[in-house]
Amino acid sequence: MPTIGIADTTFARYNMGAAAIDELKNSISAKLIRVTVPGIKDLPVASKKLLEEQNCDIVIALGMPGKQPQDKICAHEASQGIMMAQLMTNKHIIEVFVHEDEGKDDQELKFLMEQRSREHAQNVVKMLTRPEKMIQEAGTGQREGFADANPL
């Protein structure tokens, strides 16, 4: 049975970790280990600890970069840390970021945070148990949250 780590933040305005966990529970028989940290810059080490100390096979890291310019820089830095943690552990950390300004209002933002968390949880399941399904979807314009893009 695989072990999946879930790392999320208290900064986010929606419980992204709960959405991901609900989706995982309905889709895969796995041990789930959750950790919540203050913000996205804390996700890289939280994820690395899940991979190395809790022996997770994969981690889903969820967070919400805010609207301000300093938040966008913070998101870029957090992403770089998440990528570094992946390279250091040779394991995937699926980064689920929803920028606060991606939704035109609170309702749409809530929808996007819920939906992107769930769709990336499905990516985690596929990468872990059915990598051939990912190959079938290659080049099909998949997006998480809003509608997929048109394949050419």
- Residue from 5, 8, 9, 117 that binds ligand RDL (CB under 6 A)? 9
Q: How far is the CB of 104 from ligand RDL (least distance, A)?
A: 13
Of 1, 7, 64, give the one whose Cα is nearest residue 33.
Answer: 7
Of 29, 35, 30, 28, give the one whose Cα is nearest residue 50.
Answer: 35
The token pair that represents 108 in the structure block: 């749409």
- Residue from 95, 103, 113, 117 that binds ligand RDL (CB under 6 A)? 95
Q: Does 8 bind ligand RDL (CB under 6 A)?
A: no
Q: How far is the CB of 69 from ligand RDL (least distance, A)?
A: 10
**Site residues (CB under 6 A) for ligand RDL, limited to 19-78:** 38-42, 63-66, 70-71, 74
Total residues interacting with ligand RDL, rule: CB under 6 A = 24
Q: Does 14 bind ligand RDL (CB under 6 A)?
A: no
Cβ neighbour number for residue 62 with a 10 Å cutoff: 29
d(CA 112, CA 94): 17
d(CA 125, CA 135): 14
- 143 contacts 46 by C-beta, under 8 angstroms: no
Please report, as ranges, the residues that interact with ligand RDL according to CB under 6 A.
9, 11, 38-42, 63-66, 70-71, 74, 94-97, 99, 116, 143-145, 149
